[in-house]
Chain A
């Protein structure tokens, strides 16, 4: 059981202060605070590069129960700036675990706090929208921390993809683990070369792509269209990632060139938002975003619903798509926001949610096979 440990203080830009117990690394982090309603998958959340710049409040009160294991890391590092919990489990109980959550947080230098009324905090974020905050185990002076939170730059206008992307290109070969395969992905006989733009890609996306018959070559976010097309890929994938999609201006023109060359493109999350910009649409900052594993998404053509994993604070503005050639294919069942698009003439489609799950449901894993099918049918003229 945990030793009575040091205090931690969370201060918000609105002046609210939450005291708790430090359960991770010592330090001070400024971030934009969001809440996540997933009841499992804290480790995947911590290692999702899309959380760069954000601190996460877990709404489920018991976190860390099954510890952490290396196989569940979604990238090379932890990106979440801060983790706020009601109760961080001091023990881990799982045959898969190789460390407890507090150990993992220390190892990855994540500042974390528990013993907080997380529902209170979540209600505040729901009412007031995502708020800038500072979590500190060093300075415990509330008014100073509040000022720091207020001084912290907002997410709008920040290109964080550039901060998390890979420095050098690499090939990815690992498929999904056999015991945890998502149903709905069908392996293809011949393998297709694929270029993946890394804006903060999650490993499970790469695994799903491999399972669907692609050979991903992951390139840095600022790779040029010429370099990509020179590799003569069967398709291009635009990954998820953190920050404001409008700020990733370098990618907008690159992707336009690639898409217009007729290479099939799939975008997920930030990749989806970038595609909107590429064709002249806009994105907007949401009040508190979608962060969880239970969002219903309606596929408009079939009326079918997938329960999806989501993590985004920006969304494509529906009204901005008129005349862009993009049409809406998926809609959020809760608030009607844009969840998927495709191009009317080009082999381009995208989704706002996370078909690779990790964490979250596998319902939409079939999108990877759909992408693969699109690549195969590429040269068949469409009506």
Chain B
């Protein structure tokens, strides 16, 4: 059946900010779907609060609503825009849950909106644990024995039936949020209570633990003719008990006999049919008992997912795109295979390589939290690698993880046998290397398998690699025969590892290898294992290729280096820039070549670039692509720190870099050279110094005065950055920081308390500089810019200060010779403007700025790098007053119970949202709402402020009282308010005895917190307050300017509630000549 003509417009719901369990995979799927549906001529409405996504680019959907994804807001959009249909299966659990609420609220019925992809009953059947269990029993499939509980007492009664350990799964949460494995009654009570709280329907499933069983996933698609296909099977290297998002996974499945695999395939289709997914993609997870082959269904997701993104990248079969086409009437046989262009999409990809996905963790950012992996996802990103064999693929994935590993190689043998056993048994991020240590210590596969639950097939290869790696140590490079070296390379050993082992340089290893004619080859991802000719150049490197496929063209071409796996501080924002660069290059008729290793992203969609190389971002891997393609230029300024770290090596290897010269990057990063530049331009930085040892740091601090901001040089996301208040603290820090980065010195800056921080993004062609936006942080200085709420245009900077900031930015961009993007961070205290940091590359805020002022800066920067001038391009400085935009961070604290949730110079947010409106208060309120910290319109407000704020807080407090809020304050603030006749209740500080303020927050009695801190002592106390507020999702305002903003927001909310408006309308008049 062809396209449905009874539909005209379709609403797509995105997934909101990047959080653990919901990352850029939904930008990838959503973007694919929007493109596919636009191609079919539908009018597309989109809601997504995430400004860093490609999908929210105004040119993609017809009407793009950057608004909080809540049922109330979506209802408003439906009422205003009257879409014919709603497609809820592309925006993760957020979209699914929102769609469910809309149905329950009667909105869809009222406005005659049809749910496409998955109907209400289908979602319910798949997501409701009880209904799903009944459905599985009906078709003769087994579920893990389980009981459903709605109270703690009910749950406790379940233990008798399922036993301990057991798994607790809250209903309707994503990424296993709030779930976990309970080993004892105490843990059980904690996890159940948390689960009941987080489940929107207050329901948990208490399930028999299948620890040690093998885990598999199938990605399946079904169309309305009942054609079903498996796109990809995935086997988890980590056994059951570790969330699949946190598991190392391999595609296709490796250890299933055909009979077992087909049984699983039959089961997956039966589940699709029974649950009633009429068309679209689903993910089905199974557990298999390695002792006897017993098969148990774990769960199914009737929507695209992280795994479907992985499956799409692993096979070349674009699931989300096809799911969108199926939703509007097509059947699989009517869709063409994008890779072969001659065969239909109704087939099952056959692959002739092995794909390994590895999770990337960020526990170093949450040191107090438990790094044991369980049923709740904790990783923040992932990398994928393709190799011809498991060994090659596995070692490439380890390199691609960018965790300072050159492959499956140990750093030193630091563990005792007891420790090794313990580390093997406990699923945690470093377990892989405990396996390495075990094999180096000659443990048998059998024992390692028993302890870890990892299948012996995987272990056989890990053992072989580990022993090989161990024995390499101390080898003489020239002793390697051609055969031996080729064998090592084919099994994924990197030049870097061989260099280490032979005490040579990477260049020497490379030269020797090439002298033996051992070179990187490239193979195609073709969906069909070579059966048909592939038309789409989607490639991976291997040392197994004896010939070359799809040879490079002679076109003018430019290579873009992506950002690798998502991590805190480097994520979707950079991918956004890379995608824009690729699109811009293609528009200019330049062939674009993408190199990246992140399967979640839009940039690794083979549709985005002329050529895609799915490769780890390491020197060896990238250089191999450069040597093959011989690009006219390589763009390193869009992918975050990852490509910048490669820039020097590439340059030395003779690779031409595009954009800002490398020298400028060094000049901005090197403290000494940077200071010289500031002096030359008569700009000021906070007093500072560079310390190479502990005493040096103390000396500098004594000179410039405490508090000081300390950090290792060359870091992103504020890794190991801290504010220290005294010598003791500084000495403690120096011991830790020097461990973090021994080869780089530590920077010591005077910390400017009470300053306003300002971010500026600009683009320069070397002659002219266009300021994208000046952004004012609402939080006090000292909080990482990625974690701060920032507003365009500034609301409290004077005009002259703003102009000085703009001037300083221009001067620095020209002085550094920036070609492309640059970001500057300033601090403003009184009338003084300080330059904190200059980054001559794309910043995290580029997509936000681009959307707030409606200029695609990454694209402009690419055009500039290609040699166009800003004047030629007709780019003018955007009018910052066209809208009010607020960017707010989303934090993962709820996933790391026990971790302190205080904010500081080390970035800890995973994502961001944007609120946009014509009025600042409402933009702020929207941003808070979108970030999950909704501003209250009534209730109790807790206030505790530093002395200097006690005067201004009176104004805020009075307004709140007038609006009917009740106030609670700690002693000092309480006194100040009482003196002004403002009714207020007094509460103990934490050290004053209970009940204190933290008790009050925990009891959920508070709906808003105003807490402005100063100095170390209060910082500690405030840390606890804020930690609790983030756990409880209570908005916490830490500056008076934020409090004022919130007040405006609350007033706006109480006045008439939020209005929805698409981006396209904010800038509708921009097309008309605006010269005045």
Contacts and interface: CB of A to CB of B under 8 A. Distances in A.
B546 A38 contact: no
B266 A304 contact: no
B456 interface: yes
Interface stretch (B83-91, B346-354, B637-645, B688-696): B346-354
A339 to B, nearest CB: 14
A60 B530 CA distance: 11
B255 A66 contact: yes
B528 A37 contact: yes
B550 to A, nearest CB: 12
6 contacts: A40-B261, A62-B389, A65-B255, A120-B547, A292-B529, A362-B262
Nearest to B490: A115
A126 B343 contact: no
B545 A117 contact: yes
B313 to A, nearest CB: 17
A66 B389 contact: no
Nearest to A41: B258
B255 A93 contact: yes
B348 A294 contact: yes
B290 to A, nearest CB: 6
B316 to A, nearest CB: 13
B255 A361 contact: no
B229 interface: yes
A86 interface: yes
Given A69-B257, A183-B270, A360-B262, 8 more contacts: A37-B531, A44-B258, A62-B254, A95-B290, A95-B291, A179-B263, A180-B259, A334-B343
A72 B333 contact: no
Contact of A62 (B265, B292, B333, B354): B354
A295 B529 contact: no
A59 B255 contact: no
Contacts of B464: 1
Contacts of A61: 352-354, 388-389
B227 A180 contact: no
Q: Which of A38, A62, A177, A180 has the most CB of B within 10 A?
A: A62
Contacts of A179: 263, 293
B472 to A, nearest CB: 16
B397 interface: no
Contacts of A360: 258, 262
B350 A119 contact: no
A292 B531 contact: yes
Interface residues of A, number: 57
B293 A95 contact: yes
Contacts of B256: 40, 66, 94
Interface string B243-274: 00000000011111111111101100010000
Contacts of A120: 545-547
Contacts of B349: 294
A334 B292 contact: no
A119 B523 contact: yes
A184 to B, nearest CB: 9
A117 B332 contact: no
B167 to A, nearest CB: 23
A65 B254 contact: yes
Contacts of B332: 305
A358 B258 contact: yes
B292 A126 contact: no
Interface in B585-611: none
Interface in A1-46: 1, 35, 37-41, 44
A307 B348 contact: yes
A274 to B, nearest CB: 26
Interface residues of B, number: 61
Interface string A45-56: 000000000000
B350 A86 contact: no
Interface in A271-317: 292-296, 298, 303-305, 307
Contacts of B254: 62, 65
Interface string B1013-1036: 000000000000000000000000
B435 to A, nearest CB: 16
Given A62-B254, A303-B333, A362-B266, A86 B544 contact: yes
Contacts of B629: none
Given A1-B464, A95-B293, A182 B530 contact: no
B457 interface: yes
B293 A359 contact: no
A9 to B, nearest CB: 15
Interface in B434-479: 445, 455-457, 460, 463-464
A333 B456 CA distance: 39
B225 interface: yes
A87 interface: yes
Contacts of B255: 65-66, 93-94
B215 to A, nearest CB: 15
B219 to A, nearest CB: 14
Contacts of A146: none
B350 A38 contact: yes
B415 interface: no
B726 interface: no
B605 to A, nearest CB: 23
A294 B530 contact: no
Nearest to A39: B252
B1067 interface: no
A180 B228 CA distance: 19
B482 interface: no
Contacts of B229: 307
Nearest to A1: B464
Q: Which 7 A-B pairs have the closest CB atoms?
A: A41-B258, A93-B457, A359-B258, A59-B529, A37-B350, A40-B258, A294-B348
A361 B265 contact: yes
A80 interface: no
B898 interface: no
A313 to B, nearest CB: 14
B344 interface: yes
A60 B529 contact: yes
Interface in A327-383: 333-334, 357-363
A265 to B, nearest CB: 27
Interface in B53-96: none
Contacts of B333: 296, 298, 303, 305, 333
Interface string B322-356: 00000000011100000000111011111111100
Contacts of A94: 255-257, 260
A122 B258 contact: no
Contacts of B389: 61-62, 86-87
Interface string B714-755: 000000000000000000000000000000000000000000
Nearest to A184: B266
Interface in B281-307: 290-293
A307 B347 contact: yes
Given A59-B352, A120-B545, A179-B293, A96 B227 contact: no
A35 B257 contact: no
Contacts of A166: none
A296 to B, nearest CB: 5
A40 B233 CA distance: 11
Given A37-B531, A86-B389, A357 B257 contact: no
A118 B351 CA distance: 12
Contacts of B290: 95
B226 interface: yes
Given A90-B460, A303-B333, A333-B344, A294 B350 contact: yes
A122 B352 contact: yes
Interface string B922-949: 0000000000000000000000000000
B920 interface: no
A95 B260 CA distance: 11
Given A182-B266, A294-B349, A296-B347, A119 B259 contact: no
A271 B349 CA distance: 28
Interface string A156-192: 0000000000000000000001011011000000000
A65 B460 CA distance: 10
